[in-house]
Structure 1
Amino acid sequence: MKRDVQSFLLYLFGFLLLWEWLRPVEQLTATDHIGMFIIFILLSSAVSFLKVRWIWQTIIKIWFILFSLNQFHYQDGFFQFSWLSLFFRDVITNFSTIISRDWAGLTDEFRTFLFFILLWLMVYLVHYWLLNRKRIFIFFFMTLIYITVLDTFTLYSAKTAIVRTVIVGFAVMGMLTYYRILAKENVNSDSFITRKWMRPLVLMIALSVIVGIISPKYGPIWPDPVPFLKAAADKGGDEGTGKGVSKVGYGEDDSQLGGPFIGDDSIVFHSEAVEKNYWKVETKDHYTGKGWIPSGSSPFQVGGDDLIPVFSIPSRVETRDETASLFLFMDYSHLIYPAGIQRVQFERNYKLEIDSTKEKISILDINSDPVAPDDYVINYKVPKYKASDLRQTSVADPGQINQDFLEKYTQLPENLPDRIKEIAESITVEETNWFDKAKAVERHFSSSGFTYSQTDVAIPGENDDYVDQFLFETKIGYCDNFSTSMAVMLRSLGIPTRWVKGYTGGDFIKNSENDSSKQIYEVTNNNTHSWVEVYFPNQGWVPFEPTKGFTNNVSIDFTSEDGTQPAAETTAPVTPAPQKDLEEDGDNSKETNQSFTLSGVWLSVKTFLNNNWKLILLTFVFVMSVAGLIYRLRGKWIPYLYLLQFRLRKRDENIGKAYLVLLDQLDRYGLARNEDQTLRNYARYIDTFFETREMSRLTDRYEQYLYHQQLPEGSWKDSRELWENLIKKTIA
């Protein structure tokens, strides 16, 4: 194959496909110097494209491999050949290691050498498929499988890699198909035929990729099987240290946290309330290093209409009274309630059994048997905290906190890694009170590389601490990881905390038909959640939300004593939810009556683009597609413009411009003039093609005008008919 643009593109596409195999290696393995391996592939492709003799290709590649090995593994300079003897002895030793099947005994130097040889073979095979067989589908297909498997089972994200591979793969397969057709039909290609083939190929690939990117993406119909496979592998490889894949939802056993779970949109209940609430089920107070267990059990019973003595809010905290109705879809015999619960109203005469350690409230009938009601109404208080009050606690004052209470809620395992306390101290080193320390730890999880995931979540091994593994090794997890880590970090600082289980507020459904001030929310198993409560002697238990991407509805007034509000803090007032979630509509709360300013105009434009970018992109693609189609068919409509343009002209000098326009149109039609062809020869060729003498006659008059710069008066009127006839013949 000649060294032309087409063959260069094939080499380039082959290099890009090979590059996709190397991109994940640096991210997923301990392999360094990936750039040198990429340069080796590029060098191998270049010497092959330039048709360097095979002996020189071999010398160049071996020199590059040895140079790279010297740079990677040896201290001596490249031209100090003593290192070569060490390398060759190492190769001989490793061959004996291979024979004995001791794969782990291979040295790093030999592994690097083998990797270069593997790349050498891959480059040769790709070039053989491209240039000799003119087929690449198998390698293209294997590349897609390779990156999709890595995307599924590892941390490597192949979203852009798949797009790149599809573009390159389709382009190279289209080119190879074109070359196979030419070879099969024994047709000589020229630039016109090549352009005619390649333009639709490029347009098809571009449209396919753009439509694929902007099209709406639907969620998976079936549950992700990967968590099952990972959990089965973890469980099989380390029996007893973890658990299998879980299904999201409320469960009582939290002694072994970790591992993936699959989603479940089964409805748990509907709530009718003035706002979204976090709904509690129970709390846990004893951290084991693997999960949470209650430190004991002390149940007692109260009447269904009695005051419920849990989550007591001190009288000094400002509160407002609210009610919420819950309509249950699952047969749970425990109460689901918001913080600040006061009383519960049932349609029947039920009793409540309260475990004061876990603050779990069970519902019993008159015979003390568990019962699952269909609905109930909860009366509760919504606190509004003041930051100035929360900041009053700096140390555990024995006069305010009972010592047994403090020990219970600051308990930690004896073998807790020291670096957990060290990182907690480094995060809060500039804070002087419990509240600011808690906020600093809470903010820590929104940065520092933490990722929320429900699938790629590790299970701590026998010697691993659940929090230590999350903070320093994986940094990937869901609410249990985030909440447990915050609780343990604060406990290491002597601040009492507890772990809370329940549900987030759910999704807005509609406004209540019975009370216009209330909305109805749907809570499913996917809303199962855990968070942290921190104890302040003068404020009681205050919830915190460390999980990345989640926000609770706790109201804290950051106004200082002098009435000012620090710029660094923000309030979180409790407001009724609108027709749709406030969190999804934050950009629409701007003032409508703004004065005309450049920044205001830019803000409006930016908002419009953010809200309509898909429509704009789709319109742009449509317009560009129509423009491309119009351009592609210009040979059919441009002649009519030329006919209209020159029909109105009467000067004889117009023959010069008209003749050049005719040459361009004939070129578009496919009758291009060769560079060394005279006008007379070209005119005879056109006349032979159209079986006429019009082109020769028109050429005679054009040459007369070209060489004498003048024509007999009225020449253009006679020549225009010849010119128009030829133009019309090119309209196919």
Structure 2
Amino acid sequence: MRSIWNVIRFMAGEDGTKKWMALFVLLFLFQFTGWISREDGLWLPETLKAVNWTLITVCATFFIPRIHHLVRELLQIVLVLVVHAIVLQYRFVPMSQMDGPMEWFQANVSQLFPYLWFGLAAWWVFLMAMWASRSKLWISFIVILAILFFGVRDSFSTLQLWPQVAAVIFSGLCMLVVRHLSQLKNKAPESWKRLSDNPGPLIVPVVLIIALTLTLGALVPAVDPVLTDPYTAWRQYNGEAVTFLPSSDDSGRTMVQDPNDPLLKSSGYSRNDAQLGGQFQYDYTPVFTVDTTSRTYYRGETRALYTGSGWEASPADRRARQTSVDSSGKLPADSGIDMTKLKTEEVKQTVKMRSNEVYPVLFGAYPMSKVDIQEEGPDGTRSDPAQLGSLRWSARQAELRFNAKSNYPKQYELVSNIPLLDLSGLKKVDMSRLNRSEWNDYLQLPDRLPERVTELAKEVTKEAPSAYEKVHELELYLSSKYPYTNTPDVSKGKSKDFVDRFLFEIQEGYCDYYSSAMVVMTRSLGIPARWVKGYASGSSDNSRPAGIGNLRGGMSDPDAEGTYTVRNSDAHSWVEVYFEGYGWLPFEPTAGFSLPQSYAPETSAATEMPTPAPAETKTAQAKSGAAPWVRYVLYTLSGLVLLTAAAVTAIRLSSGKKLLPLLGRDPKAANYAQGVIQEVNRLLRYGRRKGYERFEHETFREAASRWMTQSYWLAGELSPVLAMFEKAKYSRSSVTEQDLEAVQGHVKRLREQMK
């Protein structure tokens, strides 16, 4: 026991209170990050990792001995930046690659946003918790608040948060014990010395009480709750049956939901699209990463048959010819599609799967022209032509299908020739000459499609002179008219047709609503269209950042090359429309999404397009640099931080005679004797706040005598201060620098004993 106690004393050192408090504050805050990690989609994994390591490094700085608090705080800020640079795989951008200092600064700083804000907030919370730990009252207050929070969240969710409550109580009690022992050491040093020399009478009863409590808690039989928790009571009040089962990892409870629960679904690549609609929850699980030469969408499958409820493969699609992929990996284009006027740009992509699921297709930029499946060998990555035999290429649908039930490729390379839009040429396409009998599958509409859907499509496009401009008007109308949400109010929908419900009743939704509506409206105008599903671009750590335009990805050029992480939350659907001479071209009607598009060299997208969609406007802003409001916010915040730091430094270091007295500070002493008197004046002001007051009729000697009678443990430090004060104020003897330093040491210890 004594050896353990000696280790504790050695670890504590001269500033042991702060070290122990930092450890228990870290344990306390870890309960909140642990809760956040179990909340679906609340934080991204990168954010959680950065915040956890921020808390650990900030805690570690309190174990550095004899360091000024300003130096420690500066070191903590530097460590926060280092942590985020490591977690986010920061890549330094040299000045030679930028046009100027401001662009260089943006290119380097933007890579850490918005994650850095979470890290700085965690740093601030840690410092506030350390400040609160100086008082038993504040410790009790924050612990009670944390218990209430976890208790309420546990009651109104399927999470099981009682382990967090237990850890919060444990850390809070430990902080109270540390604070009590610290005060005992300051106020009664002799008692503390006796206790440190012989800790057994204190430690043994505490250990026995804890052991007895845990033993009884483990042996006591479980008792069913008398009251129903609020979450279950609320659902039962609404007539919903709720059954809970223990989770597989004992981390929480699994709620057995009603199959009709609208939030039962979660985001991800769908296997069945026959019944669209409803609501879903975001799932941020990574699916794959892509190292690409340009940002793209990752196309999966297409659907042509609209049933009024959802999408299915048409009979022609089911009969479509599929060819085996040979050892060259080349994927021929559909010979039945006229693309003689289309210009393309080559994009290379390396896809690395991070999910063990087996998908029906391989994902990549549209249209694919070559595939190479790879495996990792002892000498690095190499091609594996044998696995190409599990692939089938459907040129009609431009789908690279995987026909096996297992061994889905973990890594593969794709070459795609993405379309370059020739806007002036597209506006001249005459779709009236199209042989409609050949395109029946892509013009199909249900017999019971409400007429008002067709009427709305004609109304929206009545001013557009060409087929391409009509399609663009539909894209713009849908993305600007209907708000995006993953939880649309489906109770508003009465129509039997999915698109009709969206356009005229629900009037809000997510990608499936927008894309289905655009395909149906486009077909109603006699223009071939098909529904496409896959993944949106994902988030990126851009290899060549140049601004702060895209906050999530930390890059200004949204179409830049780089490595993109694609998650289940990026599952998406969009539209492809056929134009004679150009083939199938993608369109993005979903509000808030930006489809990567490239333009032919002789065409300017800014001058040709009449009115860009909101998502396109954001893209244009990002390409030209950081969005103005983002830059202004960052500049303002940076300026405020610098001004605050400068002001605090000036106040702390200033020796002015006007400002400091207003703040309760004394001007700089003219000599050592004056310095002693100032130290005593500061002690008197501090003592008055702690209940050690000097009355108007008392001298300092009379007040000191009364204090030492009231609190005998002050005598050892107060007597030499009194003697030196009288020498400095009344004697002609000189006061040396050593005398002033001795008084300052005595006053510091007195302030600690007065707490």
| TM-score interval, smaller chain | 0.3 to 0.5
Higher RCO (CA < 8 A, seq sep 6+): 2
Which structure: larger Rg? 1
TM-score by length of 1: 0.45
